Amino acid sequence: MKVLFATAEVTPFSKIGGLADVAGALPKALEHHGVDIRVITPGYKSIAFKDYSLKDVATFSVPVGARTYEANILSTRLPESENVEVFFVRNEEFFDREGIYVDENTGEGYSDEAERFIFFMRAIIQWLQGDSWKPDLLHCNDHHTALLPAYIKEMADEFPVLRGMKSVYTIHNMGYQGTHDKQVLQKTGFPKSVYTDNETFEDNGDVNFMKVALKYADKINTVSPTYAREIMSSEEFGFGLQGVVKERADDVSGILNGVDYSEWSPEHDDLIPYNYSAKVISGKAKNRDELLRKNRMMAEKTTPIIGMVSRLVDQKGFDLIDEALDEILALELQLIILGTGEKKYHYLFAEAIEDYPEKVAVNFAYNNPMAHLIEAGSDLFLMPSKYEPCGLNQMYSLRYGTIPIVHATGGLADTIDDFNSETKVGNGFSFSEYTSEALVETIKRALRTYKNKALWKFLRDNAMRCDFSWDVSAGKYVELYQSVIE
């Protein structure tokens, strides 16, 4: 089975969020299941190309509207895979920029986002047309690659390689749909007859790339079973596309993301100063000291540290934290945050640092070593997301013995069982009602449990034993691919 995995981010080359983690790990697991899998992604300027041995694969020109742009395809092996090739589509004008999605000068998304990804998708198709390797299936992810299922069905006369090719579309987040002025359709290369008076290409006067994929893809999936149900249930989760997903209900499934334990395990994580395991846990306390030192906080042995690694956006529950911050910081805890995002949350935390310097530290940065140190050095991990398609950090936290506190939604509901101190069953703390009262109550409950050393050990052992490796989920992807190819 030959599959091409198309994605806007892939670890370790480029990363904004969990999509990169999935794109860097799932292909390795699929390779173990015998899939002939290749990955294709934009060749952003920020990628450390000099660290990899690169093959020059092809150069050709790609039309986007009235202009043509040169596409240069390079490839390298995905690190730690046997033989998964990652192909980079390079173009100076579209991808040689400081940011991946956001213009660092303005803090806004690039205004030519549609053109950048139309270029990327058209380059993929032209490259396939010219290459001898022909995938049976294109696995598309998020709105950046969402027109590909339509290209397959509508452009096979021009690009015969597309004949009979199948597609799977994975939704990583309904909150980002790729909605653009309809004018951009003229730059897609689709014949006018394809999109004129076609409600698939119409979304309140605009074009919505995700909607196009939801209509054209052979199968649709998302990254947890609960989120698969939620996105059909209401506007709140579906962001306007709930009806479109529901129409395809028979083709929609939820497959939980996995964890790449070669990157996220305290036993052999080389980004943390002290390795440890459930059996030999002593290193965790040393990482804790290091975390406090790096964040210039006093070491209070009995005060629990709550860590957060997150995009600072509404999705991640920061509106609840905003409402309850004074109440939270009045509790016996220290809060260490890593993240960047919306300005209002940068202001909120800048103020909190001034008011409570001994209780809260915030790293307004993207910093992978610090993300690992927070996982290793914290006692609890806070992730009160309003909605969460899957979420990876709560699963990483489990392995590091850092107990998650979550809002029970999407993938958080599928991975975190509320700890019952009577039966000693459960791996974290969760609350169902999305209110600041419920959040504060749950934090208080976690802090009470933390004080009981014996109980805490039970909980930590439960957490560290959880296994969310990719193998099982990759098997489900193979079944999904088979269901369309056959």
Specify the stretch interacting with ligand GLC by CB under 6 A; choose among 34-42, 70-78, 160-168, 389-397.
389-397
Q: Residue 347 interacts with ligand ADP (CB under 6 A)?
A: no
If one asks whether residue 389 binds ligand GLC (CB under 6 A), the answer comes out as: yes
The yes or no reply on residue 133 touching ligand ADP (CB under 6 A) is no
* Opening angle at CA 191, ends 186 and 192, nearest 5: 65
Distance separating alpha carbons of residues 400 and 276, to the nearest angstrom: 9
The residue within the footprint of ligand ADP, chosen from 138, 320, 371, 480 (CB under 6 A), is 371
Q: How far is the CB of 173 from ligand ADP (least distance, A)?
A: 6
Q: How far is the CB of 396 from ligand ADP (least distance, A)?
A: 7
For the record, the structure tokens of 192 come out as 């006018």
Which of 390, 447, 464, 480 binds ligand GLC (CB under 6 A)? It is 390
Q: In which order are the strands placed within the sheet that holds 305-309?
A: 360-363, 334-338, 305-309, 380-383, 403-407, 429-431
Cβ closest to ligand GLC, residue 60 vs residue 101: 101
Query: Binding partner of residue 223 among ligand GLC, ligand ADP, none, CB under 5 to 8 Å per kind?
Result: ligand GLC
Residue 377 touches ligand ADP, criterion: CB under 6 A: no
Closest CB 390 distance from ligand ADP, rounded Å: 6
In sequence order, the β-bridge partners of residue 38 are: 4
Residue 264: alpha-carbon gap to chain centroid: 15
What dihedral angle (degrees, nearest 10) is formed by the CA atoms of 117, 119, 121, 125? 180
Report the length, in residues, of the chain.
Answer: 486
Give the start-end residues of each E strand in 201-256: 206-208, 219-222, 252-254
373 binds ligand ADP (CB under 6 A): no
Virtual torsion, Cα 210, 212, 218, 224, nearest 10 deg: 20
Q: Which does 46 bind (CB under 5 to 8 A by kind): ligand ADP, ligand GLC, none?
A: none
Please choose, out of 11-19, 132-140, 235-243, 438-446, the segment that lies near ligand GLC by the rule CB under 6 A: 11-19
Using CB under 6 A as the binding criterion, the count of chain residues that bind ligand ADP stands at: 17
d(CA 415, CA 430): 11
Neighbouring residues of 87: CB distance < 8 A, sequence distance ≥ 6: 38, 39, 40, 41, 57, 73, 74, 75, 127
Element (H, E) at 429: strand 429-431
Beta bridge partners of 139: 5, 168
> 420 φ, ψ to 5°?
-105, 115
> Which segment (17-25, 83-91, 298-306, 466-474) binds ligand GLC by CB under 6 A?
17-25
Tokens 């893809």 map to which residue?
Answer: 217
Contact between 309 and ligand ADP by CB under 6 A: the answer reads: yes
Identify the burial level of 298 via C-beta atoms within 10 angstroms of its C-beta, where 0-12 means exposed, 13-18 middle and 19 or more buried. exposed
Rounded to 5 degrees, φ, ψ at 181 are -55, 140
CB burial readout 49-88, b (16+ within 10 A) else e: eeebeeeebbeeebebeeeebebbbbbbebeebeebbbbb
**Cβ distance to ligand ADP smaller for residue 75 or 378:** 378
Q: How many Cα neighbours within 13 Å face the side chain of 266? A: 31
What's the min distance (Å) between Cβ of 69 and ligand GLC? 28
Establish whether the linkage from the previous residue to 12 is cis, with ω within 30° of 0.
yes
> Per-residue contact track with ligand ADP, 383 to 422, x per CB under 6 A?
-------xxxx-----------------------------
Choosing from 46, 367, 421, 435, the residue that interacts with ligand ADP (CB under 6 A) is 367
Q: Closest-CB residue for ligand ADP?
A: 18
**Segment near ligand ADP (CB under 6 A); pick from 15-23, 345-353, 456-464, 472-480:** 15-23
Question: Phi then psi for 37, rounded to 5 degrees?
Answer: -115, 135
Q: Closest residue (Cβ) to ligand GLC?
A: 18
* Closest separation in Å from C-beta 110 to ligand ADP: 19
- Report if residue 18 touches ligand GLC, rule: CB under 6 A: yes
Q: Contact with ligand ADP (CB under 6 A): which of 5, 7, 9, 18?
A: 18
* 366 scored as a contact of ligand GLC (CB under 6 A): no
Span interacting with ligand ADP, options 88-96, 174-182, 226-234, 307-315, rule CB under 6 A: 307-315
Give bridge partners of residue 61 from the DSSP assignment: 70
Using the rule CB under 6 A, which residue among 368, 421, 435, 483 binds ligand ADP? 368
Within residues 188-227, the interface with ligand GLC by CB under 6 A covers 223
19 binds ligand GLC (CB under 6 A): yes
Alpha helices in 16-147 (DSSP H): 18-32, 92-95, 113-130
Binding-residue pattern over the window 224 to 263 for ligand ADP, x denoting contact by CB under 6 A: ----------------------------------------
Site membership for ligand ADP, residue 170 (CB under 6 A) = no
d(CA 226, CA 416): 12
- In the region spanning residues 159 to 188, those forming contacts with ligand GLC, defined by CB under 6 A, are 172-173
113 binds ligand ADP (CB under 6 A): no
* Interface residue list for ligand ADP (CB under 6 A): 17-18, 21, 309-311, 338-340, 366-368, 371, 390-393
Where does this chain bind ligand GLC (CB under 6 A)? 17-19, 22, 172-173, 223, 257, 388-392, 411
